[in-house]
């Protein structure tokens, strides 16, 4: 048998299809073919013209190589990274853990980043970029984060202009930011059920202003949109988050209270057993005392009769 990692040392494979090139090591050949087929078959994105730029998808054979290829600026919890300036995507291979997610959905998410950047360049803020990628990939599971978000209950929903900062904290806060961003893009697209984001993107590209694009495409201000997003999110998920967190709190209380109750019950049982033992001892002592008294009385009576 070969040494561990020998497969990763073999020459990488290159697969081409349309504007997509996939590079992978032999042990990820099947995944590479699936990635290429999926990317070519689903190469359009909501509201955007069909992308034209040539892109490279690099599949890393292991965790170390993945970290080397994405660089030090990427978060530790990232499963894949799109690098728009290089028109490149780096994703984990078939040996990735379950936390890397569904590779086809991850791929779609990263492809959406590149498509959005190709059309709008650096115009979109981080929250819109991530929200649009999640929207394009159909990541409905993002909403589950909001149903158990303690931050949503305690701090409320942050303003959109400060949401970008949340992506740079720990994984928990970043996941909440992804979920809120996804919900914001869903809300924006729903303002025009027929055309979704297409007019909005066109106006944004032409004018360079997100605020004016919202006004032109949807007839409302950016502040009106943000208030609608906030209200809908709180109405839809606030009660669920409250119920979920009350359940969690009750569960934690149960973990604390039940052991205390058991300890107290045991103490009461020990005290009761001690009291019963003391009563029994007292009763035995009293019985023995009475018996001794009777015996003493009998002795005295017997002495009087023999005189």
Instruction: Print the domain residue range for 15.
Output: 11-122
Side by side, which strands form the sheet with 13-17? 13-17, 20-24, 55-60, 88-92, 80-83
Q: In the prediction, which pLDDT does 304 show?
A: 47
- 72 and 137 both lie in a single domain: no
Question: Does some domain include residue 299?
Answer: no
Is the pLDDT at 103 greater than 80? The verdict is yes
Q: In the prediction, which pLDDT does 256 show?
A: 59
Say how many domains are in the chain. Answer: 2
Give me the CATH number covering residue 95.
3.40.30
Identify the domain boundary among 66, 99, 122: 122
Question: What is the residue-averaged pLDDT of the chain?
Answer: 81
- 77 and 214 both lie in a single domain: no
Question: Does some domain include residue 91?
Answer: yes
Q: In the prediction, which pLDDT does 219 show?
A: 97
Q: In the prediction, which pLDDT does 31 show?
A: 95
Question: Does some domain include residue 245?
Answer: yes
Q: How many residues in total does the chain contain?
A: 307
- 140 and 259 both lie in a single domain: yes
Long-range CB contacts (< 8 A, 24+ apart) of 161-169? 161/125, 163/126, 163/127, 164/125, 164/126, 164/127, 167/126, 167/127, 167/130
Question: By the 8 A CB rule, do 28 and 91 touch?
Answer: no
Identify the domain boundary among 86, 101, 122: 122
- 64 and 205 both lie in a single domain: no
pLDDT digits (tens, 9 = 90+) for 235-278: 877 654 444 344 334 444 555 555 665 567 677 677 766 776 66
Q: In the prediction, which pLDDT does 248 show?
A: 38
Per-residue confidence at 78, pLDDT binned at 50, 70, 90? confident
- The DSSP H or E segment spanning 80 is strand 80-83
- 191 and 166 both lie in a single domain: yes
Residue-wise burial string across 103-131, b where 16 or more C-beta atoms lie within 10 A, e elsewhere: bbbbbbbbbbbbbbbbbbeebbeebbbbb
Count CB neighbours of 247 within 10 A. 11
Question: Does some domain include residue 140?
Answer: yes
What's the whole-model pTM score?
0.73
- 232 and 101 both lie in a single domain: no
- 174 and 139 both lie in a single domain: yes
Q: In the prediction, which pLDDT does 284 show?
A: 64
Question: Does some domain include residue 42?
Answer: yes
- 129 and 73 both lie in a single domain: no
Nearest-angstrom CA–CA distance, 114 and 107? 11
Question: Does some domain include residue 181?
Answer: yes
- 116 and 217 both lie in a single domain: no
- 188 and 61 both lie in a single domain: no
pLDDT digits (tens, 9 = 90+) for 52-62: 999 999 999 99
Question: Does some domain include residue 105?
Answer: yes
- 259 and 159 both lie in a single domain: yes
Q: In the prediction, which pLDDT does 250 show?
A: 43
How large is the average pLDDT for residues 13-33?
Answer: 96
Say which residue, 55 or 163, is predicted with more confidence: 55
Count CB neighbours of 197 within 10 A. 22
- 132 and 241 both lie in a single domain: yes
Question: Does some domain include residue 164?
Answer: yes
How large is the average pLDDT for residues 196-201?
Answer: 97
Per-residue confidence at 66, pLDDT binned at 50, 70, 90? very high
* Range with the poorest average pLDDT among 1-15, 126-140, 170-184, 219-233: 1-15
Identify the domain boundary among 102, 122, 142: 122
């Amino acid at each position: 048998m070969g040494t561990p990692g020998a497969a990763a040392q073999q020459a990488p494979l290159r697969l081409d299809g349309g504007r997509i090139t996939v590079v992978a090591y032999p042990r990820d050949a099947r995944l590479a073919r699936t990635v290429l087929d999926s990317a070519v078959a689903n190469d359009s994105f909501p509201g955007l013209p069909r992308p034209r730029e040539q892109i490279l998808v690099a599949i890393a054979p292991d965790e170390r190589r993945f970290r080397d290829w994405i660089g030090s600026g990427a978060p530790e919890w990232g499963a894949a990274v799109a690098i728009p300036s290089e028109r490149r995507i780096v994703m984990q291979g078939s040996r990735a853990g379950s936390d890397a997610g569904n590779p086809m959905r991850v791929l779609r998410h990263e492809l959406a980043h590149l498509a959005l950047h190709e059309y709008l360049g650096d115009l979109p803020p981080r929250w819109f970029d991530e929200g649009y990628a999640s929207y394009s990939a159909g990541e409905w599971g993002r909403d589950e984060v909001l149903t158990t978000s303690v931050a949503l209950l305690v701090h409320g929903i942050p303003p959109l202009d400060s949401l970008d900062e949340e992506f740079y904290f720990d994984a928990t806060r970043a996941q909440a930011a992804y979920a809120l961003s996804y919900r914001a893009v869903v809300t924006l697209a729903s303002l025009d059920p027929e055309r979704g984001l297409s007019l909005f993107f066109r106006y944004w590209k032409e004018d360079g202003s997100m605020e004016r694009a919202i006004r032109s495409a949807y007839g409302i201000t950016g502040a009106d949109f943000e208030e609608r997003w906030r209200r809908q999110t709180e109405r839809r998920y606030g009660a669920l988050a409250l119920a979920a967190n009350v359940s969690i709190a009750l569960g934690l209380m149960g973990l604390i209270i039940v052991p205390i109750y058991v300890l107290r019950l045991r103490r009461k049982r020990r005290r009761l057993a001690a009291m019963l033992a003391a009563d029994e001892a007292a009763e035995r002592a009293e019985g023995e005392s009475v018996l001794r008294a009777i015996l003493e009385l009998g002795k005295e009576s017997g002495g009087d009769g023999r005189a």
